[in-house]
Structure 1
Amino acid sequence: MTLRLVVADDQDLVRGAFVTILAAESDIDVVAEAADGAEAVEAVRAHQPDVLLLDVRMPGMDGIEATRIVTAESPTRVLMLTTFDQDDYVYGALRAGASGFLLKDVRRKELIDAVRIVAAGESLLAPAVTTRLIDTMVRGRTAAAPIGLDRLTARERETLWLLGRGLSNPEIAAELVVSDHTVKTHVSSVLAKLGLRDRAQAVVAAYESGLIVAGGQPTRGALGARPPSRE
């Protein structure tokens, strides 16, 4: 099955390079290009791609605002590009609904794999980087009220806490001593009950709801009566 892709970057040479690399793949169809956030939004509206590869910093409407609009209006998944390895840009992209992020100096194979991963419904988040950037952004803040956490069972809260720490499904299964299938069920339930798009948003929600404080530890009492299986 061919996945449909829009590529948005204000630098012609960079955008052209990405288009050339990705269009050469038999399972990827680059349906449109855009030079800024507003053009990216219009391209998504016109072509309904599976993935929008989007630069975070562009003139006019930037990538973060474009991401907010695209994820609110469509099922298109956003993969952010940046030359800036700065936590605030990445955090803003995740909060806006992006499913992952890449630096522009990404290698050819990593770029192609990333587009396929996001198109398949997964999030492209390196656990160590994710935990560090979220910690950085919430450190020193007063945690928000844990709105929505009361809808979760104790095991689902536990699952959300582990998602917030950046663990993969197999790692969560090992922590909870359950099967991968059971973890997938818990993750799906957490996303549905909290109205989250994907596990990238679950990472942000785990912190912003107050379930996790800086350092990755659970807020006292937030997990319910039973503590996590392991620290």
Structure 2
Amino acid sequence: MATRILIVDDHPIMCQGLRTALSKHTDVEIVGEANCGLDAVRRVEELNPDVVIMDVELPDIDGIEATRQIVSDHRTKIIAFSGYARGSYAQGMFDAGARAYLLKQCIEKELMEAINAVMAGQTYLSADMAKTMGYEQAAGIIDRKGAQLEGLTSREREVLKLLAEGKTTSDIADALHVDVSTVKTHRMHLENKLKLHSTADLIKFAIKAGLVHL
């Protein structure tokens, strides 16, 4: 089955270039485009793509905030696609939940490598970006708690998000229309998967992973 991709960029010529490059590959399918952050969030809700290729600098909300909103509710993978080799941009995108960071001058082969990597549950940082930042700093950026979200189910993410928002077990059960025992089971799975065993640690993880923000 082809990987379904949403392109997010406020420059039509960049969207067209990506569409042209990716259309050569039978294992990917472009399902739509968005030209701003809020539209990206709406289009993900509508289309449920496997991967979003996300510009960082966008009108209304930027790519970092759009990524944070998308990964908090969906299992869609985000590939940051930026014209800027800035460590702060890469850090922000990975912290928000992106799985890859590419520079816009990357070659088509590298773009496909990034798509395949994130679909396999891996992180990816372009070679040029890693060289610009320094490999030690680059390794530190991609080794983040956000990567562990990949191992959680959508319901476990919901429970974690509500827990981090200060909801009690009973509150979460009411919000999700499930039994208290079901919420406790999800929490047990969260603790085992994340190797965290206190409410405080779970909340810290949720904040670092971008599920909630202060």
Q: Distance between the aligned counterparts of 1:95 and 1:37, measured in 2?
A: 17
Partner-residue secondary structure (3-state), 1:71: helix
Structure 2 length normalisation: TM-score?
A: 0.61
- Describe how 1:1-231 pairs up with structure 2 within 5 A: 1-125=1-125, 129=134, 131-133=136-138, 192-193=193-194
Structure 1 range deviating more: 67-76 or 111-120: 111-120
User: 1:62 offset after TM fit, Å?
Assistant: 0.7
Which structure carries more helix by proportion?
2
Instruction: Give CA-to-partner distance per residue, 1:52-108, whole Å, 9 cap, x none.
Output: 000011111110000000100100010001111111111000110000100000001
Q: Distance between the aligned counterparts of 1:130 and 1:95, measured in 2?
A: 18
Q: Distance between the aligned counterparts of 1:23 and 1:190, measured in 2?
A: 42
Code of the residue aligned with 1:78 in structure 2: it is I
Q: Distance between the aligned counterparts of 2:117 and 2:105, measured in 1?
A: 18
| Segments of 4+ moved more than 4 angstroms | 126-130, 133-136
User: 1:114 offset after TM fit, Å?
Assistant: 1.3
Partner-residue secondary structure (3-state), 1:20: helix
CA gap 1:190/1:78 in 2 versus in 1, 3 angstroms: farther
List runs of 5+ in structure 2 lacking aligned partners. 142-189, 197-204, 209-214
Structure 1 length normalisation: TM-score?
A: 0.57
Q: Distance between the aligned counterparts of 2:114 and 2:85, measured in 1?
A: 17
Indicate conservation of the 8 Å contact 1:91/1:134, yes or no: no
Instruction: Give CA-to-partner distance per residue, 1:155-211, whole Å, 9 cap, x none.
Output: xxxxxxxxxxxxxxxxxxxxxxxxxxxxxxxxxx9992158xxxxxxxxx8xx8xxx
RMSD: 2.6
CA gap 1:130/1:61 in 2 versus in 1, 3 angstroms: farther
Instruction: Give CA-to-partner distance per residue, 1:121-167, whole Å, 9 cap, x none.
Output: 2111367756315769xxxxxxxxxxxxxxxxxxxxxxxxxxxxxxx
The residue that corresponds to 2:172 in the other structure is none
Q: Distance between the aligned counterparts of 1:67 and 1:48, measured in 2?
A: 14
List runs of 5+ in structure 1 lacking aligned partners. 137-188, 196-204, 209-231
User: 1:23 offset after TM fit, Å?
Assistant: 2.2
Report how many residues are paired.
145
